[in-house]
Amino acid sequence: WVKPPTGSYTCNLDAAIFTNSGTFGFGLCIRDSNGSFMATKTGCQLGLPPPH
């Protein structure tokens, strides 16, 4: 994690694809310039995103 400039936010995102079940999942967190958590989100979706 790299501290963003004062007054800014950083969003860290990770995702995983599960081809056997045809799903994908993700998680993210948003932190302010002090490192405090501002928001988090996780999710799982049916289907697979197209490759690019």
Q: What is the pLDDT of residues 1-52, one digit of tens each?
A: 778 899 999 999 999 999 999 999 999 999 999 989 999 999 999 999 888 7
Residues 6+ apart with CB under 8 A from 40: 27, 28, 29, 30
The predicted structure's pLDDT at residue 49 = 85
CB 27 within 8 A of CB 14: yes
Instruction: Tell whether 37 is covered by a domain.
Output: yes
Structure tokens of 4?
């963003």
Q: Structure pTM?
A: 0.72
> Which range marks the domain in which residue 29 is found?
9-44
Provide the domain count of the chain. Answer: 1
Tokens 């928001």, residue located: 39
Q: Examine residue 52 and state whether it is found in any structural domain, yes or no.
A: no
Amino acid at 12: N
Residue 4 lies in a domain: no
Domain assignment of residue 28, yes or no: yes
Predicted local distance difference test score (pLDDT) of residue 27:
98
In a domain? residue 50? no
Give the torsion sign (CA, 1, 27, 35, 38): positive
